[in-house]
């Protein structure tokens, strides 16, 4: 056997949400009847314009994609209210951007700060790049970051601080004044992950002009309905973006991904409809869930809700299994650092699917 890096030997694999095919095969269910509420996807499908443009360009997949991505970069810049020089695009969703951040900034032994619970991929990908995770605290009762815990975690080795707003998996926001406090307390890069910002109606782009150490992370996987195309982007200081481009693979964004992303950005009606329907579903789910005895539901500004189920007498593994047996996939959050074995996350869907989920959940608990 070849010699494996010690870090890779010791690394715990990232745990993604369960797929429809997995559950269909495992429980012998009709895949068309399974309701997937575990991966925070857009339940209303992609933009019709994206589908149309993809079908027209399938015959060109024998050709390499464009490398400068000028049209898409300009469209993202316009959508985000920044200069094209402040944009970098990624071809594995926002995950490629995270990897580039690690490769650009982290030397072995450098530290990065994550308030937990939060998106687990930060720790996973930066550890691979040699970083050392330092854990700050997400204030669960208030559903926002504990700023002091971040300030107390700063050290001369801190290179990156991650702030997810709305936070995954809790759905809470970080106040702009708290982000500014953190930015002004360090010269480390502060990465504000806005993967779900469209559902919250607030963002932090205006801070880019005042803080060179701010970087905003976004994705096409949520409101844009393109999770399967794997497109992400980052917004930051133009000089820093140029350093990231030095190590970015030339063809990481496929030809079809570029086409789908551009068509979706040009379909403003689709984006607005997706936001509206997801928010309506979130309101419906919250109203129904808070009225179920033995559930504690966190208020959310994203397209999902986090549920504390400990009073049901079941842990998250037991409840998610019972739901999957009934054709409903939710996220068992026991793998999230900072949460125990009594939390599940449920994303929005159509009202019809929401009602089915509520019906089955009531029968189980």
pLDDT grade for 68, boundaries at 50, 70 and 90: confident
Query: What CATH code would you report for 48-267?
Result: 3.40.640.10
pLDDT at position 260? 98
Domain spans of the chain, in order of start: 6-45+269-364, 48-267
pLDDT at position 217? 98
* Helix 238-247 × helix 94-105 angle, to 10°: 90
Q: Please, are residues 296 and 305 in contact by the beta-carbon 8 Å criterion?
A: no
Out of 16-25, 127-136, 175-184, 352-361, pick the least confident. 16-25
Contacts of 327 (CB under 8 A, 6+ apart): 23, 27, 29, 30, 33, 34, 35
pLDDT at position 245? 94
pLDDT at position 16? 79
Q: Please, are residues 135 and 116 in contact by the beta-carbon 8 Å criterion?
A: yes
Nearest to 44 by CA among 252, 281, 260: 281
Torsion of CA 116, 120, 122, 124, to 10 degrees: 130
pLDDT at position 67? 81
Compute the average pLDDT of residues 319-328. 97
CA angle 9, 245, 98 (to 5 degrees): 40
pLDDT at 92 over 90: no
pLDDT digits (tens, 9 = 90+) for 7-63: 788 777 777 788 999 999 989 999 999 999 999 999 999 999 999 999 999 999 999
* 198 φ/ψ angles, rounded to the nearest 5 degrees: -60, -30
303: left (phi over 0), alpha (psi -120 to 50) or beta: alpha
pLDDT at position 9? 80
pLDDT grade for 182, boundaries at 50, 70 and 90: very high
pLDDT grade for 358, boundaries at 50, 70 and 90: very high
pLDDT at position 189? 98
Percent of the chain at pLDDT exceeding 90: 91
pLDDT grade for 76, boundaries at 50, 70 and 90: very high
Q: Please, are residues 232 and 98 in contact by the beta-carbon 8 Å criterion?
A: no
pLDDT at position 142? 97
pLDDT at position 167? 98
pLDDT at 149 over 80: yes
pLDDT at 326 over 80: yes
Q: Please, are residues 98 and 242 in contact by the beta-carbon 8 Å criterion?
A: no
- Name the burial class of residue 263, with classes exposed (0-12), middle (13-18) and buried (19+) by CB atoms within 10 angstroms of its CB: buried
Highest mean pLDDT among 87-96, 246-255, 300-309: 300-309
Percent of the chain at pLDDT exceeding 70: 100
Nearest to 101 by CA among 158, 159, 151: 159
Contacts of 326 (CB under 8 A, 6+ apart): 360, 364
Instruction: Name which CATH class applies to 6-45+269-364.
Output: alpha beta
Compute the average pLDDT of residues 113-138. 96
């Amino acid at each position: 056997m070849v010699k494996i890096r010690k870090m890779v030997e010791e690394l715990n694999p990232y745990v993604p949400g369960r797929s429809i095919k997995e559950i269909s095969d495992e429980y012998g269910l009709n895949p068309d009847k399974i309701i997937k509420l575990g991966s925070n996807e857009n339940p209303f499908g992609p933009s019709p314009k994206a589908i149309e443009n993809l079908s027209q360009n399938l015959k060109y997949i024998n050709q390499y994609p464009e490398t400068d991505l000028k049209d898409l970069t300009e469209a993202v810049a316009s959508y985000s209210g920044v200069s094209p020089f402040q944009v970098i695009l990624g071809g594995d969703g926002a995950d490629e951007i995270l990897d580039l951040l690690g490769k650009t900034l982290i030397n072995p032994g450098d530290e990065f700060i994550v308030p937990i619970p939060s998106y687990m991929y930060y720790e996973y990908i930066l550890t691979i790049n040699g970083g050392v995770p330092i854990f700050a605290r997400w204030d669960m009762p208030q559903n926002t970051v504990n700023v002091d815990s971040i300030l107390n975690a700063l050290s001369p080795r801190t290179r990156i601080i991650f702030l997810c707003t709305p936070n995954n998996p809790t759905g809470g926001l970080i106040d702009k004044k708290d982000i500014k406090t953190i930015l002004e307390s360090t010269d480390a890069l502060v990465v504000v992950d806005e993967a779900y910002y469209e559902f919250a109606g607030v963002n932090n782009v205006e801070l880019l002009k005042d803080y060179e150490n701010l970087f905003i992370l976004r994705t096409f996987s949520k409101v844009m309905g393109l999770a399967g195309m794997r497109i992400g982007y980052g917004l930051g200081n133009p000089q820093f973006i140029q350093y990231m481009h030095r190590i970015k693979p030339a063809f990481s964004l496929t030809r079809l991904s570029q086409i789908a992303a551009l068509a979706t950005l040009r379909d403003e009606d689709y984006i607005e409809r997706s936001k509206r329907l997801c928010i309506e579903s979130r309101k419906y789910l919250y109203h129904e869930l808070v009225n179920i005895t033995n559930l504690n539901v966190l208020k959310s500004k994203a397209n999902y809700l986090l549920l504390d189920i400990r009073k049901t007498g079941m842990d998250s593994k037991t409840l998610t299994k019972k739901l999957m047996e009934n054709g409903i996939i939710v996220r068992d959050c026991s793998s999230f650092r900072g949460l125990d074995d009594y939390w599940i996350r449920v994303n929005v869907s159509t009202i019809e699917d929401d009602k089915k989920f509520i019906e089955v959940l009531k029968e189980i608990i």
